[in-house]
Amino acid sequence: MNPVLQLSVQDWLSLFSHFASLSLLAVGGAITTAPDMHRYLVDETHWLSESQFTSSIALAQSAPGPNILFVALMGFNVGLNAAAGLGGGWFSAALASLGVLLAMLGIMLPSSILTYTATRWAHQHRDKLGIRAFKSGMAPIVIALLLSTAWLLTISHNQPARDWPLYVLTAVTTLVVWRTRVHMLWLIGLGALLGGLGWV
Amino acid sequence: MSELVLLNSPRSKTDLFVSFTLLALQGFGGVLAVVQRELVEKKRWMTREQFVEDWAVAQVMPGPNVVNLSLMIGGRYFGLPGALAGVAGMLAAPLVVVLLLAVAFGGVSQEPWAQGALRGMGAVSAGLIAAVGLKLITALRHNPMGKPVCIALALATFAGVGVLRWPLFVVLLGTGLWACAWAYLQLARQASQTRGSP
């Protein structure tokens, strides 16, 4: 059982404000601010253990839905640590929910308000030259960013002698999705199966 | 512009919410590929060109890209309530799923088969993202900057982010500013030409 954290109202507020302060810095996804979350939650406040931190990220990435949910899991774990873990019944559930709520509102509110206002404004002025130039200019860059992301994910497995089957799997997936209409869940399932059997 | 005639739009905020919920629940290792296929290819709410434009904005603004995208799409059709419906659809059901998983397993299982399955799924999701990138290249056909400039910008961006691993922010300041400036000049020239020739 984890030692029970004593969190004051101020601590909860600071959980919210820390995520809120990272929100506007999260260009390219909230995961880019993960090192700072680690510094705050694990190193400074000790609200999360190392393994809770890493498994929050890993679980959100393997589950369906946007990866931003790793922030919800961090809030959830902080809440559980502040109660008595999963065994604490309704009290644990309440604190865990509070953690989810504060962490998610913190990371999402500032950036969402900015994005919503900015894109409304841009939509109203969509015929202005500057807006059209931004959209046209960014198009090739955004496409290159997608390809870079795929590339970086692939070469993060950096032992070709061992990892080549993964490269093949990525290449085959790329071709199949690019050229056919096979449902993506089949491919995800295939990847899980091949990986689970230890073939890739 | 004949493409525009064929476009659909969400029928209601509920339609938006349900559609985004279904998209999100299919998105293992990132929702982008599913969003592109469903909204552009199946539902036809937007063209590839519009998708690239929206994705560019979603990526440049701070915050989770897919959440930004659902905010923008929802907001375009139904204003603030639509934006909220879009974001709620994208997050609510997956949040429940991920919390249930956390309660059931506490974290990701360290068993070799589970770790292997995650490796395999990761490789597939890399392929999904690459395929979206390749598909969207056709959206550059009518880009006012012209083909050679588009290719050069894409290569420079890939080199910066993918090979040299510079921070996104630095690369965007570099290639992004040049691209927008060049696009501005080209669009301004086109505009003055159409004004000049009656």
Per-residue pLDDT of A126-151, as tens digits, reads 899 999 999 999 999 999 999 998 99
Query: What's the token pair of residue A147?
Result: 């390809």
- Using a 10 angstrom Cβ sphere, with 0-12 exposed, 13-18 middle and 19 or more buried, the burial of residue A38 is middle
- Using a 10 angstrom Cβ sphere, with 0-12 exposed, 13-18 middle and 19 or more buried, the burial of residue B4 is exposed
Which amino acid is residue B169, in one-letter code?
F
Question: Residue B61 and residue A118: Cβ atoms within 8 Å?
Answer: yes
ipTM of the complex: 0.89
pLDDT for residue B2: 45
* C-alpha span between A195 and A166 (Å, rounded): 9
Say whether pLDDT at A26 is over 80.
yes
Chain B residues lying within 8 Å of A88, measured CB to CB: none
Chain A residues lying within 8 Å of B120, measured CB to CB: 166, 169, 190-196, 200
Residue B74 in contact with residue B87, Cβ under 8 Å?
Answer: yes
Residue A190 in contact with residue B124, Cβ under 8 Å?
Answer: yes
Residue B151 in contact with residue A191, Cβ under 8 Å?
Answer: no
Q: Grade residue A30 by pLDDT with cuts at 50, 70 and 90.
A: confident
The 10s digit of each residue's pLDDT in A58-99 is: 888 888 999 899 999 999 999 999 987 777 788 889 999 999
Query: What's the token pair of residue B85?
Result: 């419906």
* Average pLDDT value for chain A: 91
- Using a 10 angstrom Cβ sphere, with 0-12 exposed, 13-18 middle and 19 or more buried, the burial of residue A97 is middle
The CA-based diameter of chain B, rounded to the nearest angstrom, is 71
Query: What's the token pair of residue A171?
Result: 């290449």
In chain B, where the domains are located: 1-107+135-141, 143-198
Instruction: Report the candidate in A152, A178, A31 with the shortest Cα–Cα distance to residue B159.
Output: A152
Under 8 Å CB pairs connecting chains A and B tally to 365
Q: Looking at the DSSP assignment, which residues form a beta bridge with residue A64? A: B28
Say whether pLDDT at A199 is over 50.
yes
- Who among B57, B72, B102 is closest to A76 (CB)? B102
Q: Is B68 within 8 Å of chain A by CB?
A: yes
Chain B residues lying within 8 Å of A176, measured CB to CB: 127, 131
Q: How far is B5 from chain A (nearest CA, A)?
A: 19
pLDDT for residue B5: 57
pLDDT for residue A88: 72
- Of A23-32, A43-52, B92-101, the least confident: A23-32
B169 contacts: CB under 8 Å, gap ≥ 6: A27, A28
pLDDT for residue A61: 81
* C-alpha span between A65 and A68 (Å, rounded): 8
Q: What is the pLDDT along chain B (198 residues), one digit of tens a residue?
A: 444 557 899 999 999 999 999 999 998 877 899 999 999 999 999 999 999 999 999 988 999 999 999 999 999 999 999 999 999 999 999 999 999 988 887 766 778 898 898 889 989 999 999 999 999 999 999 999 999 999 999 999 999 999 998 888 888 889 999 999 999 999 999 999 887 665
Eight-state DSSP code of residue A180: -
Question: Residue B63 and residue A30: Cβ atoms within 8 Å?
Answer: yes
Rounded (5°) CA angle A170-A174-A175 = 120
A181 contacts: CB under 8 Å, gap ≥ 6: B41
Q: How far is B52 from chain A (nearest CA, A)?
A: 6
* C-alpha span between A179 and A98 (Å, rounded): 45
pLDDT for residue A63: 87
Higher pLDDT, B110 or A198: A198
Q: Is the dihedral of CA A34, A39, A44, A46 positive or negative?
A: positive
* C-alpha span between B90 and B25 (Å, rounded): 8
Chain A residues lying within 8 Å of B126, measured CB to CB: 149-150, 153-154, 170, 173
Question: Residue A153 and residue B168: Cβ atoms within 8 Å?
Answer: no
